[in-house]
Structure 1
């Protein structure tokens, strides 16, 4: 799937804006831490890279385990998740600076991530102005996470461990909550040439109704692969245009074969449940498909080793 018209979705979830003259503060030692007019399945949304760049990714492995010290080497533009928010267990921490960082290790030393229960994780850089941190495995459910970036603090929690696994071999999506199977939905993913790549995705945004238009990525509405239609209950799972969404036109194919342009098609009733239950940061794991999710689109956090 490619490109809903006029949609430039990010995973902002109300990011906390913090612009301060930072002063170093004491820190606790970090824990190791509408109606459908076409039978064609619409392609995905416009590529939006929250990092604002397609520069190569870099990372620093290891848990955040040092108490920040020295003079603050940066000022912050934003910290995401925002203070007081509740997010899914795949949500990374995104710290954006007001200016490029010239000494990344010094900046990392000024950031302290702690959690209850303790969770091990790592830093990785999307560009010179943005660093991220995520656990090596998903956050446990109901974890409290504290961020101290050179004295600017924020705290968030995770909700239930809600995980969807989309198995291309069975054409079934299995959803677990805190380790227990809660739902199994028949589905249809990307057809040959538009395969939905293997990988771990997470919810970026969601739309109750969105227009998907092939002309936004250069395919005429009048061509055999063209379309323009309203799609209901669209949950965005990356920044390259893939969604889990209601697809009444492909119900007969769901559970049997792949017919989409990359999105995960489910029935209207199943899409309503998915839309109502899945929120920012909840993971969707695609298995036994073709290719891997390696697109540098700002949502590929779980593919960064």
Structure 2
């Protein structure tokens, strides 16, 4: 009887210690403090996004052990995917894929014991040619639409390089003050825009511009955005996903 009680005591202590170390490991895995828990993961569970979409983890409080938080993440398709970590601030960790994600694939995201899954689209890729005044869209490597466009005029040139779609807005007010142009400046404006696809946090969008249709395909007359006709802008808005790429060049 005494030996049975002794065995029960030892087993109980082992279980308590195991639970303690498990809890400690979980706390470390989410940033060194029990309060540094993930409150959201983007892309959201079930969301369909582009093949260059980053994964962003938002924490409830500042993370003190960033390395531990990074070690707690895993992003997989059929195999673990490679990517680069960066911190937006003390409460947001961003993972950006090296290259692109596989097309039309479920992507699983794990942080500690928390798991979500999003889906990639067929790979929507756009090319804006500043010299030819065109905006060409390919899906899955095949050109599906070549559209006349107007980009930034002299002094307001559209930036060149490869950009990732950040946000989409069915309607949006464009205010020149957000890009440093006062309303009383000859270039100042407030415009009700539609079908807006954000490429930079500095204010570059692909959007509907009925006021520049006559220049689209012939001249660059915008303040840096990529102007499309209402019909073409609506089509692009409906087909592009957050995380899809746009290559802008001369």
TM-score in terms of structure 1 length: 0.67
Deviations 1:44-89 (A, max 9, x none): xxxxxxxxxxxxxxxxxxxxxxxx9884334112211111111111
Choose from 129, 132, 149 the match for 2:111. 149
1:190 equivalent in structure 2: 152
Listed as ranges, the matches of 1:46-195 within 5 Å are 71-72=28-29, 73=31, 74-116=36-78, 119-195=81-157
Choose from 218, 222, 238 the match for 1:260. 222
What secondary structure sits across from 1:273 in the alignment? helix
Structure 1: gaps of 5 or more residues: 1-22, 26-67, 289-305
Deviation >3 Å, runs of 4+: 68-71, 215-222
Listed as ranges, the matches of 1:141-290 within 5 Å are 141-215=103-177, 219-288=181-250
What secondary structure sits across from 1:271 in the alignment? helix
What secondary structure sits across from 2:187 in the alignment? coil
Classify 1:150/1:265 alpha carbon distance in 2 versus 1 (closer, same or farther; 3 Å).
Answer: same
RMSD of the alignment, in Å? Answer: 2.4
CA shift, 1:229, in A, is: 2.4
Classify 1:153/1:270 alpha carbon distance in 2 versus 1 (closer, same or farther; 3 Å).
Answer: same
Structure 2: gaps of 5 or more residues: 1-20
* Bigger CA radius of gyration: 2
CA shift, 1:165, in A, is: 1.2
Classify 1:24/1:200 alpha carbon distance in 2 versus 1 (closer, same or farther; 3 Å).
Answer: farther
* Alpha-carbon distance in 2 for matches of 1:113, 1:141: 15
Say if 2:124 and 2:241, in contact at 8 Å, map to a contact too.
Answer: no
In terms of fraction of residues, the more helix-rich structure is 2
CA shift, 1:183, in A, is: 0.7
Report how many aligned residue pairs link the two structures: 224
Say if 1:116 and 1:143, in contact at 8 Å, map to a contact too.
Answer: no
Say if 1:24 and 1:71, in contact at 8 Å, map to a contact too.
Answer: no
Deviations 1:5-37 (A, max 9, x none): xxxxxxxxxxxxxxxxxx979xxxxxxxxxxxx
Say if 2:152 and 2:222, in contact at 8 Å, map to a contact too.
Answer: yes
Deviations 1:136-180 (A, max 9, x none): 112121122111111111111101101111122322111110011
In terms of fraction of residues, the more strand-rich structure is 2
* Alpha-carbon distance in 1 for matches of 2:171, 2:165: 16
CA shift, 1:126, in A, is: 2.1
TM-score in terms of structure 2 length: 0.80
What secondary structure sits across from 1:96 in the alignment? strand
